[in-house]
Structure 1
């Protein structure tokens, strides 16, 4: 296509070279309806589409969020109750989701199979333009009156419970308060996701009106990415949308009130279970009326953010942390550039009330000092290297990289810019560098423009408050009681029954086959092989993978943790996080960080423990690197800077001693605050770690490193004398490297060849020897590390729930482990398909659709021979555990059809053939070597997957039912919930009650 062409009513407005994306951008507008289409056309077989709509909220009822959920629950061509989850169950998508942002809603999906791609697009197009929006779905997804076993009324609903979970997180509430402080008079002063206190005011009529107004062609932007031709995609859009819509509608306008007012100071509150706590204090700036393009503004504030507070060594971060006004940087610090009026926040967490004004005064003084004196060269080098890497590196972020491009594209397209303008990263970056190089005062000008001279600024204080939490809970109860009084219990129960009848009505055979799907014959049985080379350098094993990494070299050094005593294990995650942030030799910590990030894409380390499958344990038992506990050190660097990176890395290893106790105290406090803030919003995973901690060695160790035990380690360190912390970490760090190492490289042929020449000198310099045998630590020593301190525990009566973790908030989370079949067996693949099917059918219906939980998952981890049941933001976690048991009993009687099994196989298929980036292929290959996996095993899995039959599913159901009844030793059940839930439901049935406070 070329500019000016017309095709199926669409006019090609522009055809542009989008070099940063390796694509040709084709921009079309439908002349009659106004629908816009932008296609990044390239050779990528992983195609992605997205329907995006401007959906500015007029209140905090969450109408846009509820609509996002509801349109995926039945449409004209697919009048099912749950087409979305059926797609998840039966498609080979590499991404399938929807999200509601502050002022727009997006429906993206991707697939590597062309037929599957158009199947997904067919269902999504019908959903967004022709939804049924039935009353029962509104009650299910938005809000309804429900009754517990004792007849007590409450408000329920999927979105309602999701947002109750969101409002249970202090950091989330604080983030909203900080941003809205400078966004008064705009659509952003409302919560598009919905405030649980306002969601009950939303009606079905308002929902339908919102859909009619905003989900129309004139207000729709279609983003396309990949190698399917533009013409073929336009053919589809014309057939499935343009020729069917009754009205074009109107393009939405984001309105801003002329009397918009920004409060110079704001004091807000957030959830807490304690009476008093220090506050988060933040300066927020609203960016507008700069006279510059959105792309230029975005680039400049992103650059400033990275330079001024991008890490702890950045000039503003360092100054503010060392001021002693707060404990650490607020996690809300950053730049929000994906809204009409970008917002920049900088804040401190853990601030005393007497220091609130001092925070702003010190911040502005620091910014002024930067304007006068500039920044050190290594800081500028750090930021430039960061931007270089962000342009060169090929990444996936919980989905294809095209998702990142979609979000970048919408950053300008939504607000009137051409869709490709915000994709030209290097053009904007190069222009900024040129402006700064030609005008030495340009940095100062930017700081004045966006911060010092910007009057659209607010100083926001957010304080944790138990009263805030109690008041909201009281208002929620009062709303439910008021609605019941107005409606009457008879009508409320009648509506509830109508909804349940709708949910329980079985689908006909015709309805079950309504959604388009691939057949098993459409799926390739070929697995992409990962080719790994093995060498020996200076007595050390070196694995390498040659991949097209775009000139980036990835280096990893696996150092055995299991040569250390078990008592050292709790401190290893801190060493991983801090070893490159405390300085070494003559380098202060801030200079070391700047030099590292100015030379490389960053140093890092992480802990790793996993179970070796039975077959690998037998075949690889003579390899002394298989099945170990590791500390994985790594860095990434441009190939031409590899020697510099190895020099820095060796100096860091040899000279780091954790002796800067002032810096160390900052890190200890920041770690404790960070982990404290993670437990509630990610409680499902903390429940999973606790449930796994008695299962096997890897389960125990991962609970110590990443589970709730790590919170108590951070708490303990926060209370230790800092000199003791320094001594402990230094001792462990020095002894750690005496265990030897295994090395790995990923890069181009040239990059690996060069690195191999550098490695001998590096190995000799750090004195690294060949891998030693693991230490004979008794397993009981590791189990002891998972015991929660007695002052936080209350022993209950032994019952079906092993542990109950009490947290602040209004929703719960449940996890139960169940035995499953061993890895690399046909039965384990049958269990995988069975779990996938049950998770997306029976459990989805019972726990999410009927029960109101935001999420429910049943998944297998066959190397540990375990199946894991999880619920997320669940109003009834104890009932969900009963549902699991009842479901297991019912499934043994189920007659699985061929079609049902094929759908589940298709749904599992994408996880087996998931596209990997060059870097992730190398990282995967290294982990395969360390834990006994290989290409042949991967091929067997796929072969078995494609051959699963109904009989295999029935046998899996029998195994599952037996395992649920009698799980055996080590398979725990853990519930995370509120104090009210545990007092009313489970105290008499819980073995241990753990009281967590934030």
Structure 2
């Protein structure tokens, strides 16, 4: 069928920023609209998008997003999405629920893989089975506990219980909801756990019927696959079966307020003596429709001017005030709603400071509007935004296009409106040349004169968890007591029906309907990255990656270091956080940040620890300093970096205290949302020296260190940081990487010796002053690196926080890199997380996620769950999954799918920046191309028998697994009652996090 007679072309645009042409089509029969951005990118992407407008907080849109992927007309499986995960080479595959839309995107560098995913996703959204059993699995259900009590569970229900345990998530929801009390945005599209159980299956079905129709669809296509192929496929497979419909709800506009309003809400926290400075206060303004894309660009640059870094004028005023410890978790410009929202405020404050924070914010804005901005500040923000747009970032480019397209298209604007950045920026610069006070006028119009403003106060409530759990228990007990025999039998029957559906294997004939790539479709050879290696003298080496990087030059400095004292280990994270944030002699931190914005695309500093693959006993520890700069301004940026390294200074004690408090607040807000990461590191730290170091720098230990450091003398702390920085930055122990165009890379390489000489002189001067008493121990031998001892860990640890759900981690000894079964262990991890763990812990257990990770470089294997209603059951599921994998031989077909997915990662297109830096790191860790090819060949050769051997080995080792659980008091009681829990024996050591 010709697309010329099936589709009408509504409009076409040349889009030079994305090296292509955008065309908007309308499917004549169904009314579906399709936007295709055609360019030369081989990483193609599609997205099915629907306006989904919730009328309550039952989470119907969110539950539907999960459930449409649980089987469809053509793919009648329990979980076709899981089948795709098992054997696709996708670079993105997921679905997302927004406050007013639901999106199903996928990307792949392989044409057939992309169409395979499109066929499964299209059938899922337009023809889902929507079985009642899967509504109960994904949404909510009543079931009986082993003790005979009633409980509520469900994947989305448990996911949102976790969301409602995070103060940052609560603040984010309340801030935008507060501004839209008369529209659908007052509801939580993700679902409020207190309201989710009110959703009926009939309402759920009706929501799909109303919104998941092609007439309500906005389909985005991106990449080098011709539009004709896409359009014929869409018509043949999906759209041709539908007639146009107009049964959709339309969003109401929010009437503007005549005066600002104040809202207050709470978040749960564990009872403790001191709850001071645990609140957040955020001011929020409703601005204008996001379809006004040029205005939106101007607002984004104004946001960068006001808030773009710690030295930006509004950010600095708030932090310097001492009214709070860090900026609000809701900060900046929100553009994923129909109208833009601007938010600013503080966390780590008290509720009685709300008026002072509000007055300070408004008075600062008034001063800025009256006095005006310095031209250098405005130019720096313009360059920063331009840099972010120009830079080729990691991840599919099509996803960034999707976000820009939907921002306008979903609300009646042009799909191409957000894709003309250069044109819009040029128009803005022209406007600024004619109206130098343009941004000051924006402040007055959008913020000072805008009475549609909310102040949202989020405070801790130590009784909230107990109160809510008690109310839920009483309600469930009341319902339990009121059940008649027929109702009780219905609950038990529904539970049994769901369990039977979950545990029965899919019909092999249905599995065969899912399209997959074959192992032969995946290249046998690795992708190689050309580079040049040159000596810099004094032990330093230069790696050159001459690549076309769209006018950007990248410089990476990797300083080797080794074993440190416990105190120095604790300081490493602070050193990275403070390195560019404390200013220089004669240059305050805000002035320095302004220079960074004006002259660079950013300077970042952090610590990297990796096992050296030529000697697994050694850890290569690198202090990384990274610069990115526009080609035309590389000398300015490079000289600024030289000044930073040559004059690094931590003597601004007041600023150091601010940085400490900001870092502490960031970690306090991040622990519960990322509980699987923190519990996982905690379980691993006793098994390996590198992992112990990682936990000290980035885990719960770092949180405890920061809590102590905020009480210390900042002057003494600053001197320690300076001594540590200069010890680590030894020019005789540095490797340098340059990625960029050859002519400019040549110039930068000729400049490098002056940078190293500056650093050498600074260290020598500091040494003469007695600041460098000893060198950092690096160890001995041909292989660089140091031997780090494992940390001390209890084997069983409970991290107590006010979390409505748990995060359960287990870590055990595994196979090491270079051993015969190393590749098989990597495949085992993939098989578990896309098979048994998904089924046992997500589908049957109700957790949002479950993971397995093989770290052969460290000789360990680990498990973790995410937003999990169970603890003991999950730990048993880890062990049972290994036993099942050892007992039931994996079929060659399933094993080949795992290999396709794993080996297909090599197909992901890399930006020149990514390729250069990845190759640089590999070389430092002893990973040459021969080793990479050998590893790839080993994965391809893994046999079912080797899978069984690894599963048996890990199953035996599970008896000594270290366990770490992050959760609330109820889960702790569950664990303490269970005396037959697998893993290490003994009591759970309790660590109270005060969260």
TM-score range, shorter-chain basis?
Answer: over 0.9
- Spell out, residue by residue over 1:789-832, the C-alpha distance to the aligned partner (whole angstroms, 9 max, x if none): xxxxxxxxx8xx62111111110011112333222455222222
Residue 223 of structure 1 is matched in structure 2 by: 220
CA distance in 2: counterparts of 1:149 and 1:180, whole angstroms = 39
Q: Which residue of 1 aligns with 2:741?
A: 748
Q: Which residue of 1 aligns with 2:466?
A: 470
Give SS of 2:339's match: coil
2:611 is paired with a residue of what secondary structure?
coil
Q: Does 1:241 align with 2:241?
A: no
Matched residues in 1 for 2:944 and 2:648: separation?
Answer: 59
Determine if contact 1:553/1:752 at 8 Å carries over to the other structure. yes
Cα distance change on mapping 1:876 and 1:224 into 2, 3 Å: same
Structure 2 stretches of 5 or more lacking a match? Answer: 765-773, 980-985
What are the equivalent positions in structure 2 for 1:140-179 lying under 5 Å apart? 140-179=137-176
Contact 1:812 1:976 in 2 (8 A): yes
Q: Per-residue CA shift, 1:591-614, capped at 9, x if unaligned?
A: 01111221001111111111122x
Could you say which residue in structure 1 is the equivalent of 2:198? 201
* 1:697 match: 689
1:377 positional shift: 3.1
Q: How many residues align?
A: 966
In the alignment, the residues of structure 2 paired with residue 476 and residue 59 of structure 1 have an alpha-carbon distance, to the nearest angstrom, of 20
Q: Select the residue among 950, 970, 973 that pairs with 1:980.
A: 970
Q: Tell me, what secondary structure is at the counterpart of 2:605?
A: strand
Q: Does 1:428 align with 2:424?
A: yes
Whether the 8 Å CA contact 1:47–1:111 is kept in 2: the answer is: yes
Residue 403 of structure 2 is aligned to residue 407 of structure 1: yes
CA shift digits 1:436-459 (9 cap, x unpaired): 221122112111111011111112
How far apart are residue 665 of structure 1 and its match? 1.3
Distance 2:160 2:685 in 1: 30
Q: How does 1:512-661 map to 2 (within 5 A)?
A: 512-539=511-538, 540-562=540-562, 564-613=564-613, 616-617=614-615, 627-661=619-653
Partner of 2:728: 736
Contact 1:262 1:458 in 2 (8 A): no
Asked if the contact 2:871/2:974 (under 8 Å) is kept, the reply is: no
Which residue of structure 2 aligns with residue 459 of structure 1? 455
Deviations 1:742-775 (A, max 9, x none): 2111112122111111112222222179998734
Task: Kindly report the root-mean-square deviation, in angstroms, between the aligned alpha carbons of the 2 structures.
Answer: 2.4
Q: In structure 2, what is the Cα distance between the partners aligned to 1:17 and 1:680?
A: 45
Partner of 1:791: none
Change (3 A) 1:8 1:136: farther
CA drift at 1:910: 2.4
1:714 corresponds to which of 706, 716, 719: 706
Q: 1:264/1:995 Cα in 2 relative to 1: closer, same or farther (>3 Å)?
A: same
Q: For residues 105-132 of structure 1, give each alpha carbon's deviation from its aligned partner in whole angstroms, at most 9, with x where no partner exists.
A: 0000111111111110000000000001
For residue 179 of structure 1, report the CA deviation from its aligned partner: 1.5
Give the structure 2 partner of residue 774 of structure 1: 777
Deviations 1:552-589 (A, max 9, x none): 11111112332644431110111111111111121111
Question: In the TM superposition, what whole-angstrom CA distance separates every residue of 1:711-770 from its partner, at most 9, and x where no partner exists?
Answer: 011111111122222222122223322463221111121221111111122222221799
SS in structure 2 at match of 1:635: strand
SS state at 2:650 partner: coil
> What is the Cα deviation at residue 89 of structure 1?
0.6
- Deviation larger for 840-849 or 129-138: 840-849
Paired residues for 1:858-897 under 5 Å = 858-897=852-891
Partner Cα separation in structure 1 for residue 259 and residue 901 of structure 2: 49
Structure-to-structure mapping, 1:175-574, within 5 angstroms: 175-245=172-242, 248=245, 250-256=247-253, 264-274=261-271, 276-278=275-277, 279-288=279-288, 294-396=292-394, 399-485=395-481, 487=483, 488-539=487-538, 540-562=540-562, 564-574=564-574
1:948 equivalent in alignment to 2:911: no
Measured in 2, the distance between the counterparts of 1:263 and 1:371 equals 20
Residues 1:686 and 2:678 aligned together: yes
Alpha-carbon offset, residue 262 of structure 1 = 7.6
Is the 1:391–1:426 Cα contact (8 Å) retained in structure 2?
Answer: no
Contact 1:564–1:775 (Cα < 8 Å) also in 2: no
CA deviations 1:215-267 (Å, max 9, x no partner) are 00100000000111101111110011122336645454212366989861112
Q: Give the secondary structure class of the aligned counterpart of 1:899.
A: helix
Q: 1:936 aligns with which of 930, 945, 948?
A: 930
Alpha-carbon separation, structure 2, partners of 1:63 and 1:767:
62
Q: Out of 807, 813, 826, which is 1:813 matched to?
A: 807
> Which whole-Å CA distance do the structure 1 matches of 2:843 and 2:381 have between them?
47
CA contact (8 A) 1:530 1:935 kept: no
Quote how far apart the aligned CAs of 1:347 are. Answer: 0.6
Is 1:96 aligned to 2:93, yes or no? yes
Q: Which moved more, 1:891-900 or 1:358-367?
A: 891-900
Q: Name the stretch that deviates more: 490-499 or 591-600.
A: 490-499
1:847-890 alpha-carbon deviations (Å, 9 max, x no partner) = 11000010011121121122221111110022111112122222
Matched residues in 1 for 2:380 and 2:819: separation?
Answer: 49
Show the counterpart of 1:795: none
Deviations 1:628-678, CA, capped at 9 Å, x for gaps = 211111111112322222221122122222111111111111111111111
Task: For 1:956-975, list aligned pairs within 5 A.
Answer: 956-965=950-959, 967=960, 972-975=962-965
Does residue 1:55 correspond to 2:57, yes or no?
no
Q: 454-463 or 428-437, which moves further after superposition?
A: 428-437
Q: Name the SS for the 1:366 alignment partner.
A: helix
Aligned CA distance change for structure 1 residues 225 and 475 (closer, same or farther; 3 Å): farther
Q: Matched residue of 1:168: which SS?
A: coil
**What is the DSSP-based 3-state SS (H/G/I as helix, E as strand, rest coil) of the residue aligned with 1:243?**
helix
Q: Does 1:664 align with 2:667?
A: no
Match of 2:238, SS state, is helix
State the secondary structure of the residue aligned to 2:382: helix
1:348-376: CA deviation from partner (whole Å, max 9, x where unpaired): 11233332112111111111111111122
SS in 2 for 1:976: strand
1:108-127 correspondence runs (5 A): 108-127=105-124
**Shift in Å, 1:65:** 0.1
SS in 2 for 1:172: helix
Structure-2 change in CA distance of 1:546 and 1:780 (3 Å): closer
Of residues 279-288 and 982-991 in structure 1, the stretch that sits farther from structure 2 once superposed is 982-991
Query: What is the aligned counterpart of 2:758 among 765, 768, 786?
Result: 765
1:101 Cα deviation after fit: 0.6
Is the contact made by 2:690 and 2:788 (CA closer than 8 Å) also made in structure 1? no
Q: Which whole-Å CA distance do the structure 1 matches of 2:105 and 2:121 have between them?
A: 9
1:64 to 61, 68, 90: 61
Residue pair 1:93, 1:117 contacting (<8 A) in 2 also: yes
Counterpart of 2:716? 724
Which digits, 9 at most, give the CA deviation of each residue in 1:432-484, with x for residues without a partner? 22212211221121111110111111122111112333333334334434554
TM-score, length basis structure 2? 0.93
Q: Distance in 2 between matches of 1:955 and 1:351?
A: 55
Q: What residue ranges of structure 1 are gaps of 5+ in the alignment?
A: 788-797
Secondary structure at the counterpart of residue 7 of structure 1:
helix
Structure 2 counterpart SS, 1:986: helix
Distance change (3 Å), C-alpha of 1:263 and 1:762: closer
Q: Flag the 1:655–1:570 CA change in 2: closer, same or farther, 3 A.
A: same
TM-score of the pair, normalised by structure 1: 0.93
What residue in structure 1 maps to residue 767 of structure 2? none
